[in-house]
Amino acid sequence: MRFLYCENGDRLPVLGLGTWKAEAGEVYRAVRHAISVGYRHFDCAAIYGNEGEIGRGLTDALVAGDVQRSDLWITSKLWNDSHRKAAAGPALEKTLTDLQLEYLDLYLIHWPIAFKEGVSFPHSREDFYTLAEVPLAETWSALEDCVDRGLTRHIGTSNFSVTKLQNLLDSCRIRPAVNQVEMHPLLSQQKLKKFCDANSVLMTAYSPLGSGDRSTMMKAADEPLLMELEVIVDVAAGRGISPAQVLLAWAVNRGTAVIPKSVDPGRMEQNLAAVDIELSSDEMARIDSLDRHYRYVKGGFFAGRNSPYTIGGIWDE
């Protein structure tokens, strides 16, 4: 396994198991198999609704001696309804209870968007707070307190732009360790990556394979399919590997972590093997040339006439 290194020397395994959309009854087996074949990085979130089952898988693996807790990197995320300072700590405590852990390795602000307490998903304007009402600096301060209490070793962000990260860096007491964003050859995030690299913020790529199994309501009718792009298929054929392995190797070769979701044992093993694939500079350049700033997860479900947020405002574009 390769690693990225936090400023304090803690090691983030570059390839982890994503658990978004991993169904009940499947994710337990996925976690146990992943650990047995070498996964040590697991990406979770309260809103995924499966942390209890993940926790059982982690605990059973630890009790069986399959892995030591110190060898695992467990990430989870604060949902949008717990952004107020008084709510963030209890939300993390609930996640730790569900995951059956004493601490996380990384806790992220899931989105730079705030809901009223108890709102899983908004249906009216009244379900939201604006960022003026609940500033991200307030939420970040609450996460800093969680570090002080030993509930998480590191804190970070998800879906944060350069502008929002810079605002945090200007005011924070504890710097963000990681920014997790959608990232793949059609959305290479060059500007954001350059900023994160310059400020010692590690990056993790979600939806690295295009998230083809997300719900139909989140898909565009004409969206491009990453694993069918000519360049990706051509590189895969030339090396005798799968298009998925090309996409994951590209992410690892450019110095980011990546969290493909799978519950299929064969695909999990194939994905993990991509860590050891070294792409040539020519192959990397060909894949880099695919960038068209295309998002699969646009954030439109948080925007619209019943929301104080806009898609442009979420991404600061």
Catalytic residues: 48
Alpha carbons 61 and 32: distance in angstroms, whole number: 6
- Taking the C-alpha atoms of residue 242 and residue 144, their distance in angstroms, rounded to an integer, is 41
Q: What is the DSSP string of 129-170?
A: E-TTTS-HHHHHHHHHHHHHTTSBS-EEEES--HHHHHHHHH
How many angstroms separate the CA atoms of 58 and 268, rounded? Answer: 17
CB 258 within 8 A of CB 248: yes
Are 171 and 137 in contact by the 8 Å Cβ rule? The answer is yes
Q: Are strands 106-109 and 257-258 parallel, antiparallel or unpaired?
A: unpaired
* Biggest CA pair distance of the chain: 54
User: Can you tell me which residue has the tokens 């990681």?
Assistant: 178
**Interatomic CA distance for residues 126 and 305, integer angstroms:** 12
Do the beta carbons of residue 79 and residue 52 sit within 8 Å?
A: no
Q: Rounded distance, CA 184 to CA 207, Å?
A: 7
Coil, strand or helix at 198: helix
Q: How far apart are CA 206 and CA 182, in angstroms?
A: 5
Fill in the amino acid letter for 32. R
CA 266 – CA 108 distance, rounded (Å): 29
